[in-house]
Chains A and B, each alone.
Chain A
């Protein structure tokens, strides 16, 4: 099973709202990722969690707040977003490279976010 689930599929929010994106995987992966993808562009890495600890923050504005409550769940809390934050937000997970298996990242279907 190589399934990563994301909810919601679509989200429309105002600039003063607080919302959260959720990602879940049950593949035993210990690395989880958030990407942002604008239209007609490749995904851009935002955050990486490794063993539930934040390992990489690619200089993402503080209005995006990630959280990894356990090894299967990854959240992205959104607050005071700007219209330019409208994008497809993709979650991914992978094994660790040192575990002796390929570190292929498996992606969820994404959340299409529109900020009004």
Chain B
């Protein structure tokens, strides 16, 4: 069963505007982690931001913030003041697996392609 859902295959935004990329997840675990990665056309997966299920505050990293709504099981990425270099594929991912294994499998969504125009 799909556990991470990204419903927006593509998004367009003008430079300097804010954009929200949607991500919903499904899990029965009490403890889990949510990640956002950016993948430019070069291929590298760049870590952007992390939200733990027990974190009370929404995560922020520079222009990136995570709108975490636990009851709705959503973890949307907000990019403020978009730049041309933000054009890329964005993946939402969730850590799954028991915590005591020491390493965690990531389950990825299908991604959202963001295009920033001048």
Contacts and interface: CB of A to CB of B under 8 A. Distances in A.
B47 A43 contact: no
A94 interface: yes
B44 interface: yes
Of B33, B52, B99, B108, most buried by chain A (CB within 10 Å of CB) is B108
Contacts, number: 68
Contacts of B45: 43, 90, 92, 107, 110
A107 B44 contact: yes
B108 A42 contact: yes
A55 B103 contact: yes
A102 B109 CA distance: 20
B105 A48 contact: yes
B30 interface: no
Counting contact residues on chain A (CB < 8 A from B), the size range is: 20 to 34
Interface residues of B, number: 25
A42 B102 contact: no
A30 B108 CA distance: 22
Contacts of A109: 42-44
A108 to B, nearest CB: 7
A58 to B, nearest CB: 9
Given A105-B47, A110-B44, A94 B103 contact: yes
A88 B41 CA distance: 12
Interface in B31-61: 33, 35, 37, 42-47, 50, 52
Interface in A1-51: 2, 30-31, 37, 41-43, 45, 48, 50
Interface of B: 33, 35, 37, 42-47, 50, 52, 91, 95, 99-106, 108-111
Closest 4 CB pairs of A and B: A42-B108, A107-B45, A31-B103, A96-B102
